[in-house]
């Protein structure tokens, strides 16, 4: 039970620092946020591939897959959306504690929710704004979701009849409407090198 005084935090004998030394990298979350179709999954996969080829240990948590398992009991009400992000943040925290470079690809439209994740992960949180206009995203419509949102078959769709709040101070912004997947992924890897999360 939450706050139960009989639940005691157990201090592990192997620390995050020990695991990071073993892996020769720092545990960190690359939190992709942006409209549906902006390219979160596409760029996150490209980044993961580059890192894997450089011998780095990574893990990608992606929207739909999580809703099939961990969060399959959650729907799309406001409280379920908040709980969805909260669980993903807690799982990401465990992965970073394991020393893993964790990539998450969720629309995560609300600033308040993303700020909560930032507070939880502190300096191990890198917010990546996948900046792409609604017109371009809707033109791509890789899953046919915008079409359904426009006809009303899907309700509360981000960008159509539900808000997307742009990040105010993201660590990284990538412009997927004008830059290639490879260039966007390269910028993110550069950031990790420049900030000491991995060595070049
Ligand atoms: N520069 C680019 N960066 C990323 N994706 C691009 C780029 N140019 C074209 N695309 C295409 O845009 C689409 C982006 O779809 P993707 O599934 O990655 O979006 P998403 O943000 O993960 O959406 P959702 O929130 O619905 O999962 C893909 O079909 C991809 O091939
Ligand atoms: Mg996706």
Q: What is the mean pLDDT of residues 121-132?
A: 98
Q: Is 42 in the pocket of ligand 1 (CB under 6 A)?
A: yes
**Measured in angstroms, how far is the CA atom of residue 7 from the centroid of ligand 1?**
43
Q: Which ligand is nearest to the CA of 143?
A: 1
Q: Is 184 in the pocket of ligand 1 (CB under 6 A)?
A: yes
Q: Is 39 in the pocket of ligand 1 (CB under 6 A)?
A: yes
Query: What is the residue-averaged pLDDT of the chain?
Result: 95
Looking at the CA of residue 106, tell me the nearest atom of ligand 1.
25
Q: Which ligand is nearest to the CA of 36?
A: 1
Instruction: Note whether 149 and 157 are within 8 A (CB).
Output: yes
67, 142, 157, 162: residue to mutate for ligand 1 pocket, most atoms within 8 A of CB: 142
- The pLDDT of residue 186 is 98
What distances in angstroms separate CA 26 from CA 3, 89, 192, 198, 199, one per listed residue? 31, 17, 9, 7, 10
Q: Which residues contact 191 (CB under 8 A, 6 or more apart)?
A: 126, 171, 172
Cα(159)–Cα(156) distance, integer angstroms: 9
Residue range 85-110, pLDDT digits in tens: 999 999 999 999 999 999 999 999 99
Domains of the chain: 26-194 (3.40.50.300)
Q: Which ligand is nearest to the CA of 45?
A: 1
38 is known as an active-site residue: no
Q: Is 180 in the pocket of ligand 1 (CB under 6 A)?
A: yes
Residue 6 has pLDDT above 90, yes or no: no
Q: Is 34 in the pocket of ligand 1 (CB under 6 A)?
A: yes
Cα(35)–Cα(132) distance, integer angstroms: 8
Q: Answer whether 0.75 is exceeded by the pTM.
A: yes
From the list 108, 133, 156, 162, the catalytic residue is 108
């Amino acid at each position: 039970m939450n706050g139960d005084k009989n639940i005691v935090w157990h201090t592990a004998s192997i620390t995050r620092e020990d695991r990071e030394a073993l892996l020769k990298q720092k545990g960190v979350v690359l939190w992709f946020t942006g409209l549906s179709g902006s390219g979160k999954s596409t760029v996150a996969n490209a980044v993961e591939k580059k890192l894997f080829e450089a011998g780095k240990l990574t893990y990608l948590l992606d929207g739909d897959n999580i809703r099939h398992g961990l969060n399959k009991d959650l729907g799309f009400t406001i409280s379920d959306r908040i709980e969805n992000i909260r669980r993903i943040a807690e799982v990401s925290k465990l992965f970073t504690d394991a020393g893993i470079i964790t990539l998450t690809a969720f629309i995560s439209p609300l600033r308040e929710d993303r700020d909560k994740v930032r507070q939880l992960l502190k300096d191990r949180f890198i917010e990546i704004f996948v900046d792409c206009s609604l017109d371009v995203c809707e033109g791509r419509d890789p899953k046919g979701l915008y079409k359904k949102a426009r006809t009303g078959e899907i309700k509360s769709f981000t960008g159509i009849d539900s808000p997307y709040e742009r990040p105010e101070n993201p660590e990284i912004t990538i412009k997927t409407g004008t830059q290639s997947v490879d260039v966007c992924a390269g910028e993110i890897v550069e950031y990790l090198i420049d900030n000491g999360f991995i060595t070049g």
